[in-house]
Amino acid sequence: MYERSTDDTIEAIKNIKAHINPFNLSITKSTSSLAGDVVTIERSSRSKIYKWTRDHGIQYEPVSELASLGQAYASVFWDPKSNWIVVAFKGTDPRSFEEWTTDFTASFDRAHDHIPGFNMVHRGFKERLFPRKIGSRQRKPWSSIVGAIKIVSEGLSKDLAPDTKINVWFTGHSLGTALATLAYSKALVSSKDLPDTVILRDAYLFATPITVDKATRHHFNDKMFAKDSDVPHTMWRVTNRNDAVATALPDWGDDDKRVLSENNLLGFSHLGIEIFMKTGPHASQVKGNRVKTYGKFEVHITSKFTQEEIIAQRDFAEKNNWTLGKLCSLFQLIPILGNFLAHATVNYYDQLDQIALLPCVDRE
């Protein structure tokens, strides 16, 4: 789950505004000096992520602000010694009214011109990735993302054996996961946008809101689960408890038995297969098209650690921070408030730490 601070980016924007004469729109500071100040301020927002990536031997670079001023980001992560790229979308900032409004505003917009075969999608999410209006010197967010994948994949290919493919995954949390849903769908449907050296793999999405209508979900499933596909794909939606963003809004479009018009705002639907995390020893639950379509399709929760090692790590962590951990779990049981608390990234990390390594059971 990609979490980048927006404070420094907003500070950079304010720094520009402070040097603009409101009467004639002229800049009161030299352009080069102002640009240097902005770069210095904005780079500090990446400092924690840069440290984390250095510690883990991987690299990171932001590629698009997704038609917003410091609220949403898309970035790429990669291992310079391997053959993978992760495209990550920043989650909702708890302090950002704009982002929460986007998450909970239900309105449809046609997406066929941007994602062939798609019908109606969530307007707010579409505008972040495929904005109708954009500055003359700005690149569209999707073009920037594709450009970054191309540049990084070309760099990785130079140090790999000939014909080695570069694996690309998508991920996000909250608002970021909704954008990752549409971006992954675009990569799936418009596969020629990606370099020939790239293989589109899975998407791992945390706290996913409703994004599309039923017709779009059906088209996505047809593309996603084509039996003649050379590479199996899965879009995983991971949900913590009754997370408000993932579960609170009407999702009647998930139910094929309901007959709804394409303009019915109750007809929004999710894409992908949902993993509803449960605390061990209980098995997590799974729900989604592929589970029903492919008779023996099973989902197993696995880890490089054994269940005993995970329990030991959990016990050690709780001894060092018992009060906070227990309070977070208890607060999530409070009606309504708990639904919003369940959405926090810290509680997703916490629940992932408690999940049992077992086959999932069907969730009706």
pLDDT tens by residue, 138-190: 788 999 999 999 999 999 999 999 999 999 999 999 989 999 999 999 999 99
Burial (CB count within 10 angstroms: exposed 0-12, middle 13-18, buried 19+), residue 44: middle
Position with higher pLDDT, 328 vs 96: 328
More confident call, 70 vs 330: 330
Residue the block writes with tokens 């706290």? 207
205 near 272, Cβ under 8 Å? yes
Whole-number Å distance between alpha carbons of 256 and 265: 16
DSSP string, 226-265: -TT-SS---EEEEEETT-HHHHSS--GGG-TTS---TT-G
Write the single-letter amino acid at 352.
L
Which range, of 76-80, 145-149, 285-289, averages the lowest pLDDT?
285-289
State the average pLDDT over residues 89-113: 71
Bridge partners (DSSP) of residue 173 are 206
Residue type, 358: L
Query: Does the pLDDT at position 7 exceed 50?
Result: yes
- Spell out the domain ranges in the chain: 1-46, 58-362
Residues 20-39 pLDDT 10s: 545 444 445 555 554 555 44
Q: How far apart are the C-alpha atoms of 159 and 101, rounded to whole Å?
A: 45
Average pLDDT over every residue of 271-292: 86
pLDDT band at 13 (very low <50, low <70, confident <90, very high): very low
- What are the residues whose beta carbons fall under 8 Å from the beta carbon of 316, sequence distance 6 or more? none
Q: CA-CA distance, 311 to 139, in Å (whole number)? A: 48
Phi, psi of 286 (to 5 degrees): -130, 145
User: What pLDDT does 2 receive?
Assistant: 59
Fold (topology level) of 58-362:
Rossmann fold (3.40.50)
Q: How confident is the model at residue 96 (pLDDT cuts 50, 70, 90)?
A: low
Confidence of residue 290 (pLDDT cuts 50, 70, 90): low
pLDDT at position 292: 52
| CA dist list (Å): 90 to 35, 99, 321 | 25, 11, 27
User: Does the pLDDT at position 71 exceed 70?
Assistant: no
pLDDT tens, 317-359? Answer: 777 665 566 777 888 989 889 998 999 988 998 899 889 999 9
pLDDT over 90 at 297, yes or no: no
pLDDT-derived band of residue 42, with 50, 70 and 90 as boundaries? low
204-243 residue pLDDT tens: 999 999 999 999 999 999 888 776 667 788 999 999 999 9
Please say if the pLDDT value at position 95 is more than 90: no
